[in-house]
Amino acid sequence: MIFEPVPPYWPSHFRVKFATGAWEQAQCAALRRQVFCTEQTIFADDDRDVVDDHAIPIAALSMVGVAADAVVGTVRIHETQGTPGEWWGSRLAVAHGYRRIGALGAGLIRVAVSSAHARGCTRFLAHVQSANAAMFQALHWTSLDETSLHGRPHHLMQADLAQYPPMHAPEHGLVTLLRRAA
């Protein structure tokens, strides 16, 4: 089960990649509902919107040996309609029992920005909840503005693309080792 507060075991490592399989995409959607609807109550029943019609979902998979076990993190990316080169990341979510593993959020952000960079991104933006802005700044993002979205304080932030070399095979993604945050 992907939403246990404390995992019954710790995976050997994690793979962060485009969610290419139907089960990966379904678990990304379920994790988003868990975080944004149930935990944070930002949305009532579902957080899907028109962006999902053309967004690319990215999954952080817990790995047991060589097999993917569950989606434990997700984010989506998309190019702005009518503005070539401008990409956005949104709906970054990590399962409750995995939030102290610092490499998951950073890995999701790295795959999001680097894969967009490989697709012609010249500007990568995100609205980041204020509580998470410091993590993004540590990952070479700049706050451009402060705003309120869905009744919560956010920062409009931009990634420094020089820190995110293009990733040309995001369907394979990257592997992160198990490191828990202090």
pLDDT, tens digit, for every residue of 9-32? 678 789 999 999 999 999 999 999
Q: Give Dmax (Cα) for the chain.
A: 46
Encoded tokens for 125: 């933006």
Is CATH 3.40.630.30 what the domain over 13-177 is classified as, yes or no? yes
Distance CA 122, CA 120 (A): 6
Other beta carbons less than 10 A from residue 18's beta carbon: 21
pLDDT, tens digit, for every residue of 90-99? 999 999 989 9
pLDDT, tens digit, for every residue of 52-107? 999 999 999 999 878 888 999 999 999 999 999 999 999 999 999 899 887 899 99
Q: Return the HEC string of the chain.
A: CCCCCCCCCCCCEEEEEECCCHHHHHHHHHHHHHHHHHHCCCCCCCCCCHHHHCCEEEEEEEEECCEEEEEEEEEEEEECCCCCCEEEEEEEEECHHHCCCHHHHHHHHHHHHHHHHHCCCCEEEEEEEHHHHHHHHHCCEEEEEEEEECCEEEEEEEECHHHCCCCCCCCCCEEEECCCCC
Q: What is the pTM of this model?
A: 0.92
Sorted by where each begins, the domain ranges of the chain are 13-177
Name residue, tokens 């990409």: 87
Q: Which has the higher per-residue pLDDT, 46 or 7?
A: 46
Confidence (pLDDT) at 11: 81
pLDDT, tens digit, for every residue of 129-139? 999 999 999 99
